[in-house]
Structure 1
Amino acid sequence: MKIIRSKEFTAERAWGAVDIANMHGITTRLHWTDQPYKWHINDGEEVFTVLDGRVEMRYRENGVEQSSILEVGDIFYASIGTEHVAHPIGIARILVIECEGSV
C-alpha cells in the first residue's frame, strides 16, 4: 500500500521519477519536470496524464507535426508508433503508464 502526494513530489533533475507500480511489465511512474523531453516512439502504448501544471504535447501524424496543450486532468494516449515529445509549461507532474523499459 502506498499514498503518494503528487503535488509534493520533486526530483533532482528533469523527468526524474518515482516508481509507483509494476504490474506484469506495465509500469506506473510519477514524473517531475521543468524541461522538454525528447522526440521518441515508445516500445508499446503509453498513457500520459497531467496531474499538476500544463504541458504542450507535440506529436506527428502522417509526418505532420501537431500540438495540443494538456491541462490538469488531461490524458494523452500514444498508440504504438506515435512519435511525440512533451514540453512542460513551467513545472509539471505527470503520471505515465507504459511498458517496462520504454524510452
Structure 2
Amino acid sequence: MKIFRSREFRADRAWGALDIACMNGITTRLHWTDQPYHWHVNDGEEVFAVLDGRVEMHYREGGERRRVMLEAGDVFFAGIGCEHVAHPQGEARILVIEREGSV
C-alpha cells in the first residue's frame, strides 16, 4: 500500500514522472510539467487527468485542429489515433493512464 500526494510531487525536468502502477500492461504515472509536450499519437488509448494546474489540450479531430482548457479535476480521453499535445499553463500535475511503453 502506498499513498501518493500529487500536489507535493515535482520532477527535476518537464514531463518527469513518478510510476504509480503497472497492471496487465497498463501504466499509471504521475507527471509534473511546466512545458508543452509534443504532437503525438499514442500506441493505444490514453486517459489524461489534470490533478493540479491548468492544461490547454490541442488535438486534431476530423482533420481540424481544436483545443480545450482542462482544469484540475478534468479528464481528457485520447482514443486510438487521436493526435494531441498538452500545453500546461504554468505548473501542472497530470495522471496519465496508458499502455506500457506508449509514446
1:31 deviation in Å?
0.0
- The residue type equivalent to 1:88 in the other structure is P
For residue 65 of structure 1, give the secondary structure of its aligned residue in structure 2. strand
Give 1:62 shift: 1.4
* 1:1-103 paired onto structure 2 within 5 Å: 1-103=1-103
> What is the distance in 1 between the residues matched to 2:23 and 2:15?
21
Letter in 2 for 1:101: G
| 1:7 counterpart SS class | helix
Distance 2:71 2:34 in 1: 15
Q: Residues 13-52 of structure 1, C-alpha deviation per residue, up to 9 Å, x if partnerless? A: 0000000000010000000000000000000000000000
CA distance in 1, matches of 2:77, 2:34: 21
Structure 1: unaligned runs, 5 residues or longer: none
3-state SS of paired residue (1:10): coil
Looking at structure 1, the residues matched to 49 and 80 of structure 2 have their Cα atoms a distance apart, in angstroms, of 17
Given the two structures, how large is their TM-score scaled by the length of structure 2?
A: 0.99
Number of residue pairs aligned between Structure 1 and Structure 2: 103
After TM superposition, the runs of 4+ consecutive aligned structure 1 residues lying more than 3 A away are none
Paired AA for residue 66 in structure 2: Q
Matches of 2:23 and 2:80, distance apart in 1: 19
For residues 99 and 90 of structure 1, the distance between their equivalents in structure 2, rounded to whole angstroms, comes to 27
Gaps of 5+ in 2: none
Q: Within 2, Cα distance between the matches of 1:33 and 1:15?
A: 5
